[in-house]
Structure 1
Amino acid sequence: MNQKEVEILELIRRNPYLSQQEMAERLNMSRPSLANFISNLMRQGKILGRAYVLPEEKTIICIGGANVDRKFLIDQPAQMGTSNPSSVTGSVGGVARNVAENLGRLGHSVKLLSIVGNDPEWNVIESASSLFMSTELTKAIDGLSTGTYTAILEPDGEMLLAMADMKIYDFLTPELISKNDSTLLSAAFLVIDLNCPLETVEYVRQLAFTNKIPLAVIPVSAPKMDRLSNDLTGISWLILNRDEASKYLQMPIDSKDDWHLAVQQLLDMGAAAVVVTGGKDGAIAGNSIGIRHYHSMQVHQVADVTGAGDAFSSAIIHSVMNDQGFETVIHTGMVNAAKTLESKATVRHELTSVQLQKELEELQ
């Protein structure tokens, strides 16, 4: 689906009894143009007649981080102890939120379950996210600050300093999560990142295992690997990089043999499928059938590395939801990661399921 179709469906979800004229006015488009879009959506099976009944959807729930990211680029080499002229750029981020946006752009019904402050930063996140996911499960709390990440960059782009205020995720507790149990139990797929505390990750893992709900676990960084227990039973997909795997397993991953062994150990600990990525070196992935190495896709020019890992994980989940085979699942992840590396956006704006399939066919 294209972005306009996503906007129309979201408006219908909120109020299926709006007239076409009311919808056209809210979407700032002509009524005939809207009618054409609605006809196309009906042909695709996305709308079932009047009053614009939507088919029962397989909802993906993404649990974890929703942040505001800021980058300050200093005009001249940094001088400590004084003010440095700089330019600033901002974007929305957070692994769970980024994955949710990717999946929303790919046409899935997605809900974000996170915790934020009742502050302007949350308003920014909600505004940027609401077209691609429902934020009804996200709790805004007075007196807490929405997660923020701030990087100070030298004129050549090298990082001088980075600061992260993520204390709010300590409040994303099992007690808060459990208030949404009925929604979680109806999900077609659960995704959780390791911004969440250990006990919350464990709660969701056990809920998924007990109720046979597919679950993907996506780490955030090597230091947060202690938020994943030694029992990986119930995890359908564990998607991490070599540094994170090395930290979690307390073993060096210096060779391809080490890399292969790491995947095997993670499978032995209970995960049904494991992917350990290695940047330009590709990935090693496996399940009960076997383990193999996958080459990375060619990237013509890296515009920004931010979001590539989240794009990889999202495309894997997208392919699994579409019942693709294991190799196609991994290749689709590789393609979305490569195309995201070429984009300045954390989640590339041209992403659709049709576009991703076209790119997969071109690059294979």
Structure 2
Amino acid sequence: MTNREQEILDLIKKNPMISQNELGEILGITRSSAAVHITNLVKKGKILGKGYIVQDNPYVTVVGGVNMDIHGVPKNKLIPGDSNIGSVRMSLGGVGRNIAENLVRLGIETKLISVLGDDMYGSKIIEESALIGLDMKDSLILKGESTSTYLAVLDETHDMSVAISSMDIYERMTVNFIKEKKHVIDNSRLCVLDTNIPAGVIEYLLSNHRSTDFFLDTVSTAKAKKVKHLIGNIHTLKSNTIEVESITGIEIKTEDDLKRNCDYLMNKGVKEIFITLGKNGVFYCNQTTMNHIKADNVKPVNTTGAGDAFMAALAYCYLNDIDINESAKIATAASVVALSHENTINPNMSVENIKLKVKELELC
């Protein structure tokens, strides 16, 4: 933003009803020059169109995947290669969308940038997002295309046995498209990425928005490799052991291996690292802290959305200046709240319920 644009923005904040002629008289410029500066401010997202509504509310932008989740659960022990009697449920999903919905449920204004089709699933995702207050106006909707779908078969313990993902549509998110969202990214308090989006888009974002803090969810081993050469541009990394190994090349068998991975990543420039260990908790670190916590006696109903809730809670903590030890506790509690419900997103997700869970798990 130029000095002149900042002057105009300051005047508009003081008097949203000020006219372009008045702006010109105060600043010693023509009305047409004032109009040009206002147009630029609109393009940059600093003011929102007519009436000079100023964009002051802090928000988080999530750039990632959206899809329809289909989960099958057997009534008895899962028998591979056979038809299992059980139940099938459908719910809205996608790592990026799940993180974004959890953020909204934690009271954070959130914008989601993704790509989806104009089919039944895509319409449902847009409709449900509007109902909960999740802003998807900057997402790309493609005519005649199918929205991404994720099919998971859980075992009798409700842990994932096998899954199939149909996510080719994500490749339609291009660098040229994401360039058009520059003002959205630049004005974010932070930007959360998941590696479902194309490598070129991730590289562009991390290389061209250096003033933005990025949180990254690595999603899977294969997709984590997309960021291997750019990992130093990440502020906060949330990953599991095999995903971290694919980035660092350091095998994890012991806690010392976890420490070596953290040291490697911090030396590359990552500020905070959270390595999730499933039922064994989370190992986390920054330049001053390295620790391991675990939530005991947790019986999951559905493990699918736990990691997404964990990442959303980390973003919440960042926005509220919460230190890394408390962040790990809050994020762990959020993941437990998530996996205690059959839906990917627990409709009871809230800051209050997370804090109650922290006490219940004796993490405080």
Q: CA deviation at 1:87?
A: 4.0
1:310 aligns with 2:308: yes
In structure 1, the partner of 2:343 is 345
Distance across 2 between alignment mates of 1:168 and 1:199: 15
TM-superposition CA deviations, 1:1-21 (whole Å, max 9, x none): xxxxxxxxxxxxxxxxxxxxx
1:98-137 residue pairs with structure 2 within 5 A? 98-130=98-130, 131-137=132-138
Pair 1:222 & 2:197 matched: no
Aligned-partner SS, 2:233: coil
Q: Distance in 2 between matches of 1:278 and 1:156?
A: 18
Describe the SS at the equivalent of 2:291.
Answer: strand
Q: TM-score, normalised by structure 1?
A: 0.78
Q: Distance in 1 between matches of 2:114 and 2:198?
A: 12
Cα distance between partner residues in 2 of 1:65 and 1:350: 23
C-alpha root-mean-square deviation of aligned residues, in Å?
A: 2.5
1:356 aligned residue: 354
| Alignment partner, residue 252 of structure 1 | 251
Q: Deviations over 1:195-239 (max 9, x none)?
A: 011111111112332xx2221011111121121132323311011
- Please say if residues 71 and 90 of structure 1, whose CA atoms lie closer than 8 Å, have aligned partners that are also in contact: yes
How much does 1:74 deviate? 6.0
**Is 1:101–1:133's contact at 8 Å kept on the other side of the alignment?**
yes
Gaps in structure 1 of 5+ consecutive residues: 1-52
Deviation sequence 1:261-309 (CA, Å, 0-9, x none): 111111111211111111222222122224x222122344211111111
Compared CA separation, residues 84 and 100, structure 1 to 2 (3 A): same
Deviation at 1:94, TM superposition (A): 0.8
Structure-2 residue corresponding to 1:33: none
The residue type paired with residue 297 of structure 1 is: A
Q: Which position in structure 2 is the counterpart of 1:192? A: 193
2:47 match: none
Q: Distance in 2 between matches of 1:225 and 1:325?
A: 26
State which of 297, 319, 322 in structure 2 corresponds to 1:324. 322
Report the CA distance shift for 1:85/1:361 in structure 2 as closer, same or farther (over 3 A).
Answer: closer
Tell me by how many angstroms 1:346 deviates.
1.6
Matched residues in 1 for 2:274 and 2:264: separation?
Answer: 12
Q: Is the 8 A contact 1:198 1:226 kept in 2?
A: no
Aligned-partner SS, 1:284: strand
Contact between 2:338 and 2:349, CA under 8 Å: does it hold in 1?
no
1:28-68 per-position Cα deviation (integer Å, ceiling 9, x unaligned): xxxxxxxxxxxxxxxxxxxxxxxxx9993111000010010
Cα-to-partner distance string for 1:293-331 (whole Å, 9 max, x where unaligned): 221223442111111111111111101100111211111
What is the match of residue 61 of structure 2? 61
Contact 2:206-2:230 at 8 Å conserved across structures: no
Q: Is the alpha carbon distance of 1:281 and 1:300 closer, same or farther for their aligned partners in structure 2, counting shifts above 3 Å?
A: closer
Per-residue deviation at 1:78?
6.8
SS at match of 2:69: strand
Structure-2-length-normalised TM-score: 0.78
Question: How far apart are the structure 1 equivalents of 2:80 and 2:234?
Answer: 48
Q: 1:7 maps to which residue?
A: none
Counterparts in 2 of 1:161 and 1:240: CA distance versus 1, 3 Å: closer
Instruction: Please name the residue that 2:207 is paired with.
Output: 206
CA contact (8 A) 2:160 2:303 kept: no
Structure number with bigger Rg: 2
SS of 2:265 mapped into structure 1: helix
Deviation, 1:152, is 4.2
Identical pairs, percent: 25
Number of residue-to-residue matches in the alignment: 308
The residue type paired with residue 334 of structure 1 is T
Partner of 2:170: 169
Offset at residue 361 of structure 1 (A): 4.4
Consecutive unaligned residues in structure 2, runs of 5 or more: 1-52
Rounded to whole Å, the distance in 1 between the matches of 2:341 and 2:108 is: 22
- Give how far 1:244 is off: 0.4
2:282 is equivalent to residue 283 of structure 1: yes
Shifted more, 302-311 versus 339-348: the winner is 339-348
